[in-house]
Amino acid sequence: MTQHSTRPETMKETDVIDLLLAQHAMIRDLFDEVEQAPAGERGEAFTRLVRLLAVHETAEEEIIHPYARRALDGGDGVVDDRLEEEREAKELLQHMDQAGPDDPDFMANLAVLRAAVMAHARSEERYEFTRLRAKTSAAERRAMAAGVKAAEAMAPTHPHPGTESATKNLLVGTPVAMMDRVRDVIRKATGH
């Protein structure tokens, strides 16, 4: 599999719902990669998964969920449930990162994480994205897609050669540290 397949900022989708659905598929594929990687390469594949989850979930939290809160009837309840799911997944991600890919429980934890992340993605699709699509115009969804891509481009999962030093520091360290830094750049860029 090529590295291109985990660059969320370069995806072709111009509608934010299509874009996020495609990223969910990308996340699923990366779980496959981690599961199928030989033991010696598992850590590297897991790091790519952590980076993708960090930029995807943080972009949702900063751009999509706040919009859904305002636009949907009962939006606060829908979003609070999604944030709780994201929080639980992050805790397990943090634990797995600390324990490392050689931990004897790594594959069992990976299966639990996968089930939680994919259930969360299905809940977003069913309770949040479908309703958001019905409540927004195509122009609004295009604008949000541009916002998500711009946010993800500021925290590239595969920095281009040459820009490496400027962006590299963003997606290193623990999953929580990565997400905090991504959140920081998104907030600075959006003026929040």
Q: How far is the CB of 39 from Fe ion (least distance, A)?
A: 29
Which lies closer to Fe ion via its Cβ, residue 60 or residue 152? 60
Nearest by Cα to 71 from 134, 15, 124, 135: 135
Residues that bind Fe ion (CB under 5 A): 57, 60, 124
Query: Minimum distance between the CB of residue 115 and Fe ion, rounded to whole angstroms?
Result: 15
Residue nearest to Fe ion (CB): 60
Phi/psi region, residue 136 (left: phi>0; alpha: psi -120 to 50; beta: rest), is: beta
Q: Which is nearer to Fe ion, 122 or 187 (CB)?
A: 122
Determine the residue type at 56: H
Nearer to Fe ion, 60 or 62 (CB): 60
Closest by CA position to 11, among listed 131, 24, 60: 24
CB of 157 to Fe ion, least distance (A): 15
CB of 52: closest distance to Fe ion in angstroms? 11
Record the tokens describing residue 12, joined without a space.
Answer: 């072709």
Nearer to Fe ion (CB atom), residue 101 or residue 178: 178
3-state helix, strand, coil in the chain (%, to 5): 80, 0, 20
How many angstroms separate the CA atoms of 79 and 129, rounded?
Answer: 11
